[in-house]
């Protein structure tokens, strides 16, 4: 079973400067919750209770968020405002949080490798908090859907969605053979290819389930696109052994690493809240 989730959260969030100069991008709020809390709640729904967070300098706000604030609790206890803390109290009570730092920004693959000490030698999930997902079906959130697939295939699982052909340079892109509805056996993947070189328009988004041998592969993975250690390159090694499944998930995904996606997510969740 998948019991641990890793959150790479050391990036600078430069597309949101100056807002992210002193505030982690993972703590930017969509309505009243920070992005990373949405991710943690998605992991909890999938049956995961151990969260490992890879942070960096200036990211203490993440640790403080998933901790008790005794001063705040004291100030609002017994008042009409106390219920505002109900959700985050529930999250804290259901999870164990552990942290490590990525000292240098060397890419997503390197960030995941930094989390090895938090994960150990077992399969685990990865959530990129700025890919905010919302389920639109009875099968649960994206990670819940992927956990069910892992139980069947027992190999690395990556979430994918169709993107416009001229946007492939923003994503890792896969090619594969259809195994069943919405499920592909991956045989190739390319990190941020030009549209003319893209093997498909099926783009990898920020949800993964990885087998522990990924750490050994990452240790020997040379820097790739942008001079960074890419998780795509490590996954390609597994894919050549037939050990990667891509899943076109059921749900809505917002790229909250971009201003456009962040605004769309805010509007979407605002409308959803109003329609309750």
**Strands, E assignment, the chain:** 4-8, 29-30, 33-34, 50-55, 96-101, 124-127, 131-134, 156-162, 172-180, 183-191, 202-210, 244-248, 252-255
SS3 of 103, please?
coil
Q: pLDDT at position 224, please? A: 81
Q: How far lies 26's CA from each of 116, 165, 220, in Å?
A: 21, 28, 29
What confidence tier does 74 reach under pLDDT thresholds 50, 70, 90?
Answer: confident
Residue 82 pLDDT > 90, yes or no? Answer: no
Residue 1 pLDDT > 90, yes or no? Answer: no
Q: pLDDT at position 235, please? A: 96
Q: pLDDT at position 105, please? A: 87
Tens digit of each residue's pLDDT (9 = 90 or more) over 196-251: 989 999 999 999 999 999 999 999 999 887 788 999 999 999 999 999 999 999 99
SS3 of 203, please?
strand
Going by C-alpha positions, the residue among 77, 86, 103 that lies closest to residue 10 is 103
Tens digit of each residue's pLDDT (9 = 90 or more) over 5-25: 999 999 888 999 999 999 999
**What are 4's strand-pairing partners?**
50
| Total-model pTM | 0.94
Q: Are 22 and 16 in contact (CB under 8 A)?
A: no
């Amino acid at each position: 079973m998948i019991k641990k989730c890793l959150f790479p959260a050391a990036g600078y969030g430069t597309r949101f400067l100056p807002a992210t100069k002193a505030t982690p991008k993972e703590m930017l709020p969509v309505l009243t919750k920070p992005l990373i809390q949405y991710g943690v709640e998605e992991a909890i729904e999938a049956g995961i209770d151990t969260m490992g967070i890879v942070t960096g300098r200036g990211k203490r706000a993440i640790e403080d968020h998933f901790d008790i604030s005794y001063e705040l609790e004291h100030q609002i206890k017994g008042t009409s405002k106390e219920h505002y803390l109900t959700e985050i109290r529930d999250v804290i009570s259901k999870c164990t949080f552990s942290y490590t730092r990525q000292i240098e920004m060397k890419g997503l693959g390197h960030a995941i490798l930094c989390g090895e000490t938090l994960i150990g030698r077992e399969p685990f999930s990865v959530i990129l908090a700025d890919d905010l997902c919302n389920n639109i079906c009875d099968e649960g959130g994206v990670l819940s859907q992927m956990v069910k697939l892992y139980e069947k295939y027992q190999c690395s699982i990556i979430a994918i969605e169709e993107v416009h052909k001229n946007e492939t340079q923003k994503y890792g892109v896969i090619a594969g053979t259809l195994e069943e509805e919405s499920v592909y056996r991956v045989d190739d993947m390319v990190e941020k290819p030009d549209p003319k070189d893209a093997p498909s328009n099926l783009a990898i988004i920020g949800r993964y389930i990885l087998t522990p041998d990924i750490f050994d592969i990452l240790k020997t993975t040379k820097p790739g696109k942008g001079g960074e250690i890419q998780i795509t390159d490590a996954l390609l090694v597994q894919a050549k052994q037939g050990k990667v499944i891509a899943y076109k998930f059921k749900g809505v995904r917002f790229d909250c690493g971009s201003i456009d996606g962040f605004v769309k997510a805010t509007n979407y969740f605002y409308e959803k809240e109003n329609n309750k």
